[in-house]
Amino acid sequence: MIEKNVLHLHRITLYRRGPAQHFMKKTLFLFLLLIMAAVTPASLSAQNSGRRVQVAGIAFYNWENLFDTIPNNPEGRDYEFTPNGTRKWDGRKYWDKVGNLAYAISQFATKTTPIGPAIIGVSEIENRSVMEDVVNQPDLKKWNLQIVHHDSPDARGVDVGLLYNPRYFKLENVTNHRLSAVPFRTRDQMCVVGSLMGQRVAVIVNHWPSRLGGQEQSEPNRVAAAELAKSIADSLWRVDPNMGVIIMGDLNDDPMDKSCAKIIGGQRKPDGVAAHGFYNPWWDILESGVGTLAYKGSWNLFDQIIVSGNLVNPTDESKWKFYEAKVLNFPFLFATEGTLQGSPKRSFSAGSYLGGYSDHFPTEIFLRRYVTK
């Protein structure tokens, strides 16, 4: 099996007997590296310990109103994003944005995750079709990302969704949960359960109600959304107490707000987080001045990935363990001029088309585990 080959890859040494043999062995080495990067999870040799480390990335990205150009909503919710709508949303603008998003996601690849994250949650998508257009772009098609989507009752016509790489994640089931405790139609919460390279995990993808009307006035809506997400997690643990649970999404709240800190219970530090509690790694990142969206010159970090305690303090090193969180604020995602300079380069500002990516930066966490030879 290729997995076994990975275990022994670091043992390959170059011939020292002559230029020809040296070249042939080096060529074989590079060839094997390329094959491994294409078909296996990233693995790193642990220092002379007889173990290797597997790494998995799990990301989230708000796609900022990715609507198609077809006015097919009977209630007219998508009219703004049509050729005759206020944004003059035509094929050129649509395909520019699709290409931009695909390129941005292609840059999620790292040395330890060379073909990108295992899982990517997304929000602000109109339908499955727009997700298909993104993953079929040349920058992403080689990853063979699979799609999970569900039509929500949201008043604006946007949904959440999930992409996954079937080499790393095997889908088991999907359930969708209605947020009925608010006085308007909003996004359902999507719970995706599957096997992350042999270990069972659940990802709950969210896009909580906005701050329209002010943070304080709208907070009860996000508290209700947090209560729903927490209840989904609790129901998962009643069935499988060992399941790792990840709550992700555009939460429209920061880590220290009531919904995240009190209702979800996302702790600021990983030490002592109970197996069925949650660790929120974004507190310190936001406090350092790094966020995912800017409002009136200040950063917020709404795009969070919150991790259950059994993925933070696992019972043994062969289980997935959280080790890093990043805001993927690549330089090309920043606006470089105008009033939005220094913030995410979005598609529109004050009605003018900017040709950007999103008004949110993506985020990603990394899990790792040791695999014994």
Task: Report the chain's terminal Cα–Cα distance, integer Å.
Answer: 13
pLDDT value of position 41:
56
Mean pLDDT (the chain) is: 89
pLDDT value of position 372:
79
Query: Are 308 and 67 in contact, with CB atoms under 8 Å apart?
Result: no
Strand partners, 176: 190
Query: Are 192 and 171 in contact, with CB atoms under 8 Å apart?
Result: yes
Segment 330-352 mean pLDDT: 95
pLDDT value of position 42:
58
The residue ranking higher by pLDDT, 37 or 192, is: 192
Query: Are 97 and 156 in contact, with CB atoms under 8 Å apart?
Result: no
Of 354, 308, 299, give the one whose Cα is nearest residue 327: 299
pLDDT tens track for 22-38: 444 444 444 444 444 44
pLDDT tens track for 203-241: 999 999 999 999 999 999 999 999 999 999 999 999 999
Q: For residue 247, give both structure tokens.
A: 């709550």
Band of the pLDDT at 55, cuts 50, 70, 90? very high
State whether residue 53 is helix, strand or coil: strand
The residue ranking higher by pLDDT, 196 or 18, is: 196
Indicate if the pLDDT at residue 8 is higher than 90. no
Count of beta carbons in the 10 Å neighbourhood of residue 192 = 23
Indicate if the pLDDT at residue 4 is higher than 60. no
Reported pTM: 0.88
Tokens 């699979």 belong to residue: 146
Map 75-129 to HEC letters. Answer: CCCCHHHCCCCCCCCCHHHHHHHHHHHHHHHHCCCCCCCCCCCCEEEEEEECCHH
pLDDT value of position 101:
98
Band of the pLDDT at 11, cuts 50, 70, 90? very low
Of 337, 361, 332, give the one whose Cα is nearest residue 349: 337
Q: Is 333 exposed, middle or buried (0-12, 13-18, 19+ CB in 10 A)?
A: buried
Query: Are 108 and 328 in contact, with CB atoms under 8 Å apart?
Result: yes
Indicate if the pLDDT at residue 54 is higher than 90. yes
Indicate if the pLDDT at residue 282 is higher than 80. yes
